[in-house]
Amino acid sequence: MQNAAPMFQENERREWMGLLARAPLALLEAWASRQPERAVSWLRRPESGLAMVRGRAGGTGAQFNLGEMTVTRCALKLEGAAAGVAYVQGRSARKAELAALADALLQTAARDAVRRELLEPVRTRLDADAARQRRKAQATKVEFYTLAREAGV
Amino acid sequence: MVDLADVAPGFADATLESQAVFRLGLAALAQPGTIVECADFPKPPRGVHAAANALLLALLDQDCRLWLSPSLNGAVAGYLRFHTGCVLVGEARQASFALVAEPAELPPLGGFDAGSDEFPDRSASVIVQVGALAAAGPWRLRGPGIRSEARLQAAGLGADFLAQWRHNAALFPCGVDLFLASGSRLSGLPRTTRIET
């Protein structure tokens, strides 16, 4: 086993794995179409399964099972370079494949280009989606104290 | 933690290849003394024979507890963990499957889980890698699945093993089942097979 110093911190990888897991397929495809052909070998072909999502009320309460979600995972190896792993939401094998390829490249010297061309657009899109979701939720917010006052309590 | 860059690929087509290997393992156990060929399967990690590797890839899943004999190093454990999701155990007694690198490393057969009277099918399956395996030689096999008598030679398993095997047979319906692997050749020794020399 080689013990070369990794070119990234563990929490950095956690962050990009999270982004890739939620990335829309269209963005991944757009990025992949600009990539040169690379020789990859499969360690594990894409396979779909269920994962139990667990939560804690308020982040501190007792653990409970929120529900199951579909997850697709795969692992591949770049020719002469790092291995890439992906666990992505949904059942798209293609999405898992592209996410694993991006993960492998992020561990190589190509990482800056991948960050610029893939991770940043994904982050922007996800932030925009989240902001839109928040706005929609905000619009339906009910101020209960107002109702109570109008009722003359 | 396993460095994935060191892990070799497993089955190219997990469904079809594991079914093919399962069929071969079944044939080996059903007809003790016959030798089946497990060729064309993935290149095993160092120290593991191709037949043993293919059989473990086909049989193991996350409900299986695997024991590896001492000389099989972390790379073998990492490979099998990654491809099958099996659980590794440190004690032979806890294992449902065991891989033994060479006959010299085979612990006493009584040290494996022989199952219980209620569930004799839950006993351990032990894969022993031997230097040579031939359907001829000193061992005369008798028992279910053998018409009259079958011959077998497994290099490195001696009189001490035969005594333990007789004891294992006496536990019936409990007892462990053995697979012998040499290169891509595989042979089965179910608990019902009697060995005479």
Evaluate whether the domain defined by B12-196 bears CATH number 3.90.550.10.
Answer: no
Question: From its phi and psi, is residue B147 left (phi > 0), alpha (psi between -120 and 50) or beta?
Answer: alpha
User: SS3 of A146, please?
Assistant: helix
Does a structural domain hold residue A19? yes
C-alpha A19/C-alpha A52 separation (Å) is 20
Mean pLDDT by 10 residues, chain A (153 residues): 58 92 94 90 92 89 92 90 89 95 92 93 95 93 68 55
**What residues in A contact B6, CB-CB < 8 Å?**
1
* ipTM reported for the complex, 2 dp: 0.70
Q: Does A51 touch chain B (CB under 8 A)?
A: no
Beta bridge partners of A52: A68
The two structure tokens encoding residue B141: 């096999």
pLDDT, residue B188, reads 96
**What residues in B contact A44, CB-CB < 8 Å?**
10, 82-83
Which regions of chain B are under pLDDT 50? none
Q: What is the pLDDT of residues B92-145, one digit of tens each?
A: 999 999 999 999 999 999 999 999 999 999 999 999 999 999 999 899 999 999
Does a structural domain hold residue A3? no
pLDDT, residue A1, reads 38
CB contact under 8 Å between B7 and A85, yes or no, is: no
| Domain containing residue A22 | 10-150
Does a structural domain hold residue A2? no
Q: Does B7 touch chain A (CB under 8 A)?
A: yes
Spell out the domain ranges in chain B: 12-196
pLDDT, residue A40, reads 87
pLDDT, residue A126, reads 95
Task: Give me the number of domains chain A comprises.
Answer: 1
Q: Could you say which DSSP state residue B6 is in? A: G
Does a structural domain hold residue A36? yes
pLDDT, residue B14, reads 87
The two structure tokens encoding residue B80: 């099998």
